[in-house]
Amino acid sequence: MALEKEVRCDKYEVVGRFKHIQCRTATIVKEDGVELSRSFHRRVLTPDMDVSGEDAEIKGMASALWSDEVKAAWAEKLAADAG
């Protein structure tokens, strides 16, 4: 009996004016190659975040989506919300 656990981002979505990247991470537990369970966790990456520690796919998406204009608009929104 061999148990294995696989964790991977299996779904990406780009949402809204500020191009937030949502990453759904699936955690899959298998026994002898047969899936026993699957659970999900979602996280949101915003244009002000450091993605240098992320995988190449997220880095590429952030680079393509988060232009200087998007970053500036997001910073303005955060400043306006802070008050």
> 29-47 in b/e burial notation, b at 16+ Cβ within 10 A?
eeeeeeeeeeeeeeeebeb
The pTM (predicted TM-score) of the whole model is 0.83
Structurally, how many domains does the chain consist of? 1
Average pLDDT of the chain to the nearest whole number: 96
Check pLDDT > 90 for residue 60.
yes
Mean pLDDT, rounded, for 14-33: 96
Give the pLDDT score at 42.
97
Structural domain range at position 57: 3-82
